[in-house]
Structure formats: structure tokens, C-alpha cells
Amino acid sequence: MTPKWDDDMYVTLVHEGMYAEKNIDVAFFGTSQIVYGISPMELYEEYGIKGYDCASGAQSMVVTYYWVKEVIEKKHPSVVVLDVYSVMYDDLAAEETIRQSFDYMHFGKNKMDAARDVMKYYDMESDYISFAIPAVRYHSRWKDLEKKDFTFQFQNKSYYRKGAKGGENVCPFPMEVVDFSEITDTAEESFLTDYLRKILDYCKETDTPIVLTKTPIAAYPYAYHNTIQNIADEYGVPFVDMMDSKVLAEAGIDSMTDFDGLPHLNMKGSVKATRYLGKYLVENYPAVLDNVDANLKDRRWQKELVEYQEYRAECLEKIENP
């Protein structure tokens, strides 16, 4: 039995699409900041790199830790990129968002351990076994089944967006641009930063390079920059904070045109952010290019690239002509 979210096929398909990939060169993790902020197909179009957004809305760093383990074990990416936004707030406790985060993880030790930790840190109405085995939670829905429950399997399940969503709106606002060298405050750490450290430990243990990042966001608690930077320095990993005034300028991010709403980028902003981060990865992690020749011969990805290009054009058209 496959849980599905009628109002958003993306949620239903995103992790299923990840499992369907034979190889992933770059795996992106995080919340909706990654979903709206990074479009992996831009990397394929520009460099021939296969990327995937292994992210979901309001995903807790607790769950992210287990997705990082799952993807490294199953897909062996050359580089992991982790958006750190979820360490900045600890109210990600709604059962809906927790379930959207990992109902689709294949059954195994990672899923069982994730369910255990979710129950430890968050006050959920459901019990442990229903998180580890979603069918326990949804089995009573047989009384409410409709036609769409049976036609779902025949819907278009193309994974051409590779976990991303393109914002189609424009929400202009004057962004506060800050020089990070002037920030002296640090934010208090929590169990969420503990799980960030667990991710860094696991990447070190598996010899998987990891890049921490913060995609552009409308409202940024700047004290967290120093907190994350200190952790990154402790582990000797890079922190590419795209809220840095120099990065925003180099990437060409414009708060008057590139945001879908608070706090997400739209497609225009996502393309800029992805291209900036892609250039950084290619320059600093040449292993992401190891599979390019084979990647470019992948007929499915070539077909999906055309689908993505059409989708991108539609989003950009709506942005330019709302």
C-alpha cells in the first residue's frame, strides 16, 4: 500500500523517484528551501551531472539524518549538499509533515530508527509502529475509498523535476543584506544541531564529501550563520551561505523578482541559485563529473530534460506575465 497526498503529487513521488535512479552524483537534502531553491535538472543541462532533491516540506533534521544514511547506502553520491534551515526552528512536529518526510522510506533499519527518534523528540498522536509501517496508520481508509484511489497508479509519474518544484509567483520585498563579518551573535544549539553533527559524522565515516549551504530565504535569523559556521569549521567542511551579500550579488539573486513567497525562491531564483551552487561543486568536487559521459547517453534523462525545459518555460512565463 502506497500513501498518497491528493493535493500534491510531488510529495507522493519525490522519494519514489529517488529510489528509481540507478545513480545520483549529487544528493541535496533539507526542507522546502531545497525543494524550491535547487533544480537538479539545471545541473544536468549545464554539466551532465545527475542530481536529486531528497527533501520535503518542513523536514526535521532528525528525519534528514536517516535520509542521508539511506541515500548514501543505496545511491553512493559523489557529494552530499545539506541545507541547514531546519536547525533554525524546532516546531516541525505536525504529523502530516513528519509523515510526508519519511512515509516513503523503504522499510528497513533506517526507517525503524527514524520512527523511534521521531517519537522521542516529537509529541505524535500515532504510535511508533504506525510510523515504521504506514499501513497501520492508513488501513482504516477502506471506508473512504474513491475512484481516484484506484486510478492513482495510472497517473503520469514522471520524475523529471528530480524532487524540485518551480515557484510560479513573484513576491517582491526589500531584502536585508548583511555583511557576515559584522555579525557577532551565535544562536543556541539544540537536538537539531546534534543531528547535524550526526550527519557530518556519518559522512566522515563513509568518506562522503558534504557541503553545508543555506539557499536564499526571505527572513534569515543571522545569528545562526555563526553557529553553523562554527560547526562547519569544527568538522572541516565548507558552509556556502548564500545569504552572504557577496554570494547574493554573484548569483544575481534579486528579492524584487526571484521569490515565490515568504520564504521560497521562485523558478527564476531557483535557476540562479542552482547554477551558482553547481559552479561551486564543479570547481571544488571534480568527482561529480565522473559519470558525465554515461549520464548524457541516458535516454530517459534526455527525455526528462525536455520535459523539465518545458516546465521551466511555463513557470518563467507565469512569473513574467502573471
CA distances from 283 to 29, 34, 47, 289 (A): 21, 21, 12, 10
pLDDT at residue number 219: 84
- For the stretch 192-236, pLDDT in tens is 999 999 999 999 999 999 999 999 998 888 899 999 999 999 999
- For the stretch 71-84, pLDDT in tens is 999 999 999 999 99
pLDDT at residue number 98: 75
Domains of the chain, each with CATH number or no CATH: 9-320 (3.40.50.1110)
Q: Cα separation of 46 and 294, whole Å?
A: 15
C-alpha cell, 283: 570547481
pLDDT at residue number 24: 98
Q: What is the dihedral of CA 85, 91, 93, 98, to 10 degrees?
A: -10
List, edge to edge, every strand of the sheet that includes 239-241: 51-55, 26-30, 79-83, 210-214, 239-241
C-alpha cell, 208: 562522503
Rounded mean pLDDT of 152-179?
Answer: 81
Query: Which residues lie across from 259 on neighbouring strands?
Result: 265
- For the stretch 115-149, pLDDT in tens is 888 888 877 656 666 666 666 555 555 456 666 55
pLDDT cut 90: percent of the chain above it: 65
- Its pTM stands at 0.91
pLDDT at residue number 177: 81
Residue 62, pLDDT above cutoff 70: yes
